[in-house]
Structure 1
Amino acid sequence: MNTTPRIALIGECMIELQHRADGSLVQSFGGDTLNTAVYLRRALGESGSVDYVTALGDDSFSDAMRRQWADEGLGLGLVQRLPGRLPGLYCIQTDAKGERKFLYWRNEAAVRDCFTTPAAEPVLAALPSYDVVYFSGITLAVLGEVGRARLLQALIETRRRGGQVVFDNNYRPRLWPSVEAARAAYHAVLAEVDIALLTEDDERGLFGYQDAEQVFAAYPAIAEVVLKRGADTCLIRCNGEHFAVPALKIEKVVDTTAAGDSFSAAYLASRLQGGSPEVAALAGHRLASRVIQVPGALIPLG
């Protein structure tokens, strides 16, 4: 692996509204792969470049997103702007235990045409030149059938050229027409994955796997499988070896938004910098434990 790897993360950033206890709304931006991209950029420092791949509209919110991403040091060369379109929007409501509920408005989001426009051709052609290509189950859902097929071809070419493909399962049933459609899409891309960052609850919800043993048995060809289990011990199988890394105990959980995204970012950053799976998982736990103690997806800089 390149000592300063080039990493592309594919997905959707949305307008985020945080519903506060006093009834007020605080506006920011977030999305699973965007959250991971930001935390990965922060974790890597100068030892790698991180580009975000998406489609935005030509509105003021899209302009603000680009400015925020640039401030975070993300590369924007593969961000498309689609005239007349808008980003999606979601609202976070949290309960007294920090557990969250999401309300979404995303059917007309620009990212749905990320890989179907003529402007997508150079983006798709560029992806296989990266050392790492990262995407999620939400990416799969919002891209649609045509976009997924084109992404799959880019993943195949990425691996053919020696790059790594990293996948976070992030299964959201409401984004799919049926569980069968989701399973088919996941199976297609999982055949081209080198590192699978899986959430236990999502594996249960999508495939019905009841425990870690079933999850690991389902992916014999994936070299590195990381099973994220919230506040429970993270389980890893890497090149035939197994590891168990306990989570950190947090007394006061404020908001669990982006806990898994931040874990994935810190884990991947550590692995790319030569850390063992155990060291990487501990880094993931550390960052996630900080993220869940503040509201919203991204810890403010400074």
Structure 2
Amino acid sequence: MTTLFKSLSAPMRVALVGECMIELQRDSAGTITQAFGGDTLNTAVYLARLCQSTAISVDYVTALGQDPFSETMCQTWQAEGLGTQNVRHLPDALPGLYFIQTDEQGERQFLYWRGEAAARRCFDGHEAAQTLAALLDYDVIYLSGISLAVLNSEGRARLLETLAEARRQGTRIVFDNNYRPRLWPDRATAQHCYQALLALVDLALITWEDDVELFGFSSPEALFRTYAQSGVTEVVLKRGEASCLIHTGRQVLTIPGEKALRVIDTTAAGDSFSAAYLACRLQGGDPEQAARWGHRLAVNVIQHRGALISPPAMPAMPALSYSLAAQA
């Protein structure tokens, strides 16, 4: 199956919608380092790197302040090849902040300060009309459950309305579930918003544990049935070290992962998988090859500290065959 993005023309424009925060991380020696991170930002950076020599452009859409941290964020994104023309800058707001602690197994604990973060108001007010209108010009829009959760109710409703209009115009919608209960007032509200979005989604990249917690699925088969009923064309089920499962509408593919020599930090494992999967699909790869790209990047990311590995540490991806590229 290689038809999901077949009708999209080159050059292709991709927007990732979400929140980037100030990241603080303490290592085993007690040293604290500062960086920037967020689920969709991590995905955006890896996607831009993997599409660097193609006709695919990648933009990040969010709201920041007018402070030095916000300015440095944009400069960092631009250095990674991300477009920032649709980043809103709010004069009375700041980015959110989070602190990471990592145990000996590489598992993380997060502490957040994001209640007044600028990203919450990204689509609020009449000033957001320009940002929302700009989304209609993209070929692909990617967002996550966190992208929805951090928004105020007004902005969330306006974003969903815009995504519906974009999809009517031919835009493909890609969704990573990333369910975080603490960001929602209650489980029922989250379920309602997810179900509204899934009716618009073409490609879903799902972390199994998150959907079990949100929807209570008893098996992957039950999940696939529900997503198919919502109209999702392609569902990728991420299951950590276990094989990922891909439902294409006609069959379920099982793609084993790669083994890490040593797990240092699992931050952005799922985000990087999603980036590589999407990068491969946009460049003509089929779902099986895309999953192998996803596993390859994720297993490298978890062997480094932090969400974003350095560009020289990026692994080489399996080459796309001519036959696959020709079908896309």
Question: For the superposition of Structure 1 and Structure 2, which TM-score range results when normalised by the shorter chain?
Answer: over 0.9
Distance in 2, Cα, partners of 1:265 & 1:156? 23
Is 1:77 the counterpart of 2:92? The answer is no
Query: Per-residue displacement from partner, 1:211-244 (whole Å, max 9, x unpaired)?
Result: 2111101111210000000110000011322211
Query: Per-residue displacement from partner, 1:129-176 (whole Å, max 9, x unpaired)?
Result: 210000000000011211111111111111111110000000001101
Contact 2:172 2:201 in 1 (8 A): yes
Which residue matches 1:15?
Answer: 22
Which residue matches 2:76?
Answer: 68
Give the secondary structure class of the aligned counterpart of 2:152. helix
Distance in 2, Cα, partners of 1:181 & 1:272? 32
Q: TM-score, normalised by structure 1?
A: 0.98
Distance in 1, Cα, partners of 2:204 & 2:70? 30
Query: Per-residue displacement from partner, 1:187-234 (whole Å, max 9, x unpaired)?
Result: 111111000100000001111112211110111121000000011000
Contact 1:80 1:119 in 2 (8 A): no
Contact 1:3 1:273 in 2 (8 A): no
Q: TM-score, normalised by structure 2?
A: 0.90
Structure 1 counterpart of 2:98, from 60, 77, 90: 90
Distance in 2, Cα, partners of 1:276 & 1:239? 14
- Show structure 1 runs of 4+ deviating over 6 A: none
Q: Which amino acid aligns with 2:260?
A: I
Query: Per-residue displacement from partner, 1:233-266 (whole Å, max 9, x unpaired)?
Result: 0000113222110011113100000000000000
Is 1:26 the counterpart of 2:36? The answer is no
CA RMSD of the aligned region, Å? 0.9
Which residue matches 1:150?
Answer: 158
Contact 1:12 1:54 in 2 (8 A): yes
Q: Which runs of 5+ in 1 are unaligned?
A: none
Distance in 2, Cα, partners of 1:46 & 1:115? 32
Which residue matches 2:211?
Answer: 203
Which residue matches 1:226?
Answer: 236
Contact 1:129 1:161 in 2 (8 A): no
Structure 1 counterpart of 2:11, from 4, 7, 12: 4
Alignment of 1:29-178 (within 5 A): 29-47=36-54, 48-178=56-186
Is 1:186 the counterpart of 2:194? The answer is yes
Give the secondary structure class of the aligned counterpart of 2:22. strand
Shifted more, 281-290 versus 20-29: the winner is 20-29
Shifted more, 234-243 versus 198-207: the winner is 234-243
Contact 2:23 2:98 in 1 (8 A): yes
